[in-house]
Structure 1
């Protein structure tokens, strides 16, 4: 109802003016935030290693290409961003024009899109006179404009390619690593920091790329529970003073330590716990909020992985989750077992999809291994069964997988039948 002042009862003005009772600097819980170095915990040697690779760049010389491996949430992106930001700041004192660019290859998967995004991020159109339209040019033309931007503006450029294993092909590595040698660049030198969760990533590269990269490799180990606690205590000022009960951070760290030392998950749990307490109008974030937040973080993470996946993909993953749920004493299941369950699921008219052959369903499972939704092992039989059999396993709890898939209306109908 309008009170005559142009505002309704329960005006939003009152809402906007209200201070957050739980959070004071919520952005500190954002894993993508690059904090000051004193907030980066347990990665001193990794920082030094990456810095040593790109050190020549601060004086305008050629940096070493670098490959960083490690599981999700081990600080790979954080360290790469921090080191390159610091190098860029220091290069100014040396009179070096350094460019830096970051590409998330989960969002930018094609060679052309990577070149477009790099050119747009590093370009200053007022100085170069170069435009980078989103579409309409060939890949070769985009490269030509990108090389021109680098030569006009920079002595050296550091390019971070995060989750590089998600790219559809690796041609961009060839182009970037050989740009100077191939005469594409006259003045600017390029260094690559490629980041992957898969330590086997280099096995997918052909000899030409391996030869031109001449990279250094570093593996980031998982955080232990003590480091996770310290990471969260260093960001405790994200919350208002006194709202965290004493067991919140230790419990969040313990949960994340169980998940291969994933700092991203630790911060997700802590943030979600605060949000749950806020939604309940609670005065304090407690152990109960942490336990509920852990479940929510699991579902949110897996939901992001499965977002936009076709129904056939969900059906194959769903089949594996049912087997894992029914056989809690086992972790891995052979393709033929999953296929029998998959056939049972797809025969239900509620899904309205065809039943693929076992080979095609297996291809769908392999796609999910590539996307880190599933895991896979190979076993070689003996005697007459000497062939290779693939066994698949979930990387998430079956209840979480099913909760996410049931959000799809088709599977929700299937569940009720």
Structure 2
């Protein structure tokens, strides 16, 4: 081994051995962490409500199905995971075999994929002898294997369907809620906790599903600035002693309170601020790090929303962002205005896409309204303009939208 290689290896070993100067327990700031109950702030009544719905399950009885509503970052997923984990632990003392499964419907959107993921998560192939291949079976066969797994392994199963409004259809709700009644399950009882950011979600369900759900509904309110501060102070031990300046947590909470009380946003900002300070070899996390972290969090969030979206959709959203950027005195823009800008964008040969009709472009925008990337209002004209006109607006700053879309090489040269 050469002397240079020895030097490099030595340096790397020294690097691995060094302690993180900023973070002590960084995992406390992870969005998906389900902490101990004493770290769950401002959600005591919500915990009790969800727990009361599934309480019968700890003794092997049928739980109530539950619909949970609330804006992003209001603790819906956290509470559902915490309550079901606690119930599963307690059920052991009652001699009850309880299964629990979590599905993120933003990632798992089709009925078949949901059934596959549920079966894989709840299966113990050594005990059941059942295999769940990723592909190759019909949806009906996947269901049959899933029902068999539940009956063989569990007295009761609690299934969390997070952001359920992102599913392509609601057939899975029908199947799960009527499994016992329809004779698909012999002994296992199933309870559903369906989580949605849209309080209007229930209106999209047909009467058969509503009838079989026999649900309870709870709305999680946004956190206020005081609660957000308490949440972050409660997790301040994620950092080493003395590295947080006094204004870091109050400022992070204030920014998140402006975003409808979003605790996810608050923890995102706090974690990103620490990472920025670490990258700069700073001795402490300061107000300037928080301000830079807020911008980074906005870009990261919007990047996740646009990830994998087709070029046509990016072009439509980009057109709206250009209008919003050039007309800072306005928030909403009519379809025809967006379309004129969209035509200018798609005429650039670098994108390599056709220019859709105004109606088809409008359909693309409507898809993004459904995904909470854009907002839309309708206005009814008078007289000769008595028709309904759609007006679209961004839910994010135009500069953030453009920064994200410019990361796509096809848009990098557009102005």
TM category (shorter chain) comes to over 0.9
Q: Distance in 1 between matches of 2:8 and 2:355?
A: 55
Contact 1:2 1:8 in 2 (8 A): no
Provide the alpha-carbon RMSD of the alignment. 1.2
- Specify the SS of the correspondent of 1:100: strand
Contact 1:2 1:9 in 2 (8 A): no
Q: Distance in 1 between matches of 2:191 and 2:113?
A: 19
**TM-score, normalized by length of structure 2?**
0.98
Q: Distance in 1 between matches of 2:244 and 2:5?
A: 40
Q: 1:4 Cα shift?
A: 8.0
Q: Distance in 2 between matches of 1:64 and 1:4?
A: 66
Q: Distance in 1 between matches of 2:341 and 2:26?
A: 44
Q: 1:9 Cα shift?
A: 5.8
Q: Distance in 2 between matches of 1:50 and 1:295?
A: 35
Q: Distance in 2 between matches of 1:160 and 1:4?
A: 54
* CA-to-aligned-CA distance 1:60-98 (integer Å, 9 cap, x gap): 111110011111101000000000001111111111111
Q: Distance in 1 between matches of 2:382 and 2:170?
A: 37
* CA-to-aligned-CA distance 1:340-378 (integer Å, 9 cap, x gap): 111111122232221110000000001111111101111
Q: Distance in 2 between matches of 1:235 and 1:188?
A: 39
Q: Distance in 1 between matches of 2:320 and 2:2?
A: 55
Point out the more displaced range, 149-158 or 373-382. 373-382
Corresponding position: 1:191 with 2:226: no
Q: 1:385 Cα shift?
A: 2.4
- Specify the SS of the correspondent of 1:349: coil
Contact 1:100 1:158 in 2 (8 A): yes
Contact 1:128 1:149 in 2 (8 A): yes
Q: Distance in 2 between matches of 1:189 and 1:141?
A: 20
* CA-to-aligned-CA distance 1:376-399 (integer Å, 9 cap, x gap): 111222333222211111010001
Gaps of at least 5 residues in structure 1 are: none
Q: Distance in 2 between matches of 1:28 and 1:49?
A: 25
Contact 1:98 1:155 in 2 (8 A): yes
Contact 1:101 1:159 in 2 (8 A): yes
- Specify the SS of the correspondent of 1:23: coil
1:129 corresponds in structure 2 to 129
- Within 5 A, what are the aligned runs for 1:79-98? 79-98=79-98
Q: 1:150 Cα shift?
A: 0.5
Q: Distance in 2 between matches of 1:385 and 1:194?
A: 42
Q: Distance in 1 between matches of 2:152 and 2:308?
A: 40
* CA-to-aligned-CA distance 1:9-48 (integer Å, 9 cap, x gap): 6531111001000000000001110000010001111111
- Specify the SS of the correspondent of 2:137: coil
Q: Distance in 1 between matches of 2:271 and 2:41?
A: 19
Point out the more displaced range, 174-183 or 56-65. 56-65
The 1:41/1:348 distance shift into structure 2, 3 A limit, reads: same
* CA-to-aligned-CA distance 1:289-322 (integer Å, 9 cap, x gap): 0000000010011011111111111111011111
Q: 1:5 Cα shift?
A: 8.0
Q: How many residues align?
A: 415
Contact 1:3 1:9 in 2 (8 A): no
Corresponding position: 1:53 with 2:53: yes
1:204 corresponds in structure 2 to 204
Q: Distance in 1 between matches of 2:223 and 2:8?
A: 51
The 1:316/1:4 distance shift into structure 2, 3 A limit, reads: closer
Q: Distance in 1 between matches of 2:57 and 2:259?
A: 36
- Specify the SS of the correspondent of 2:7: coil
Q: Distance in 1 between matches of 2:38 and 2:297?
A: 27
The 1:4/1:309 distance shift into structure 2, 3 A limit, reads: closer
Q: 1:104 Cα shift?
A: 0.5
Q: Distance in 2 between matches of 1:65 and 1:297?
A: 34
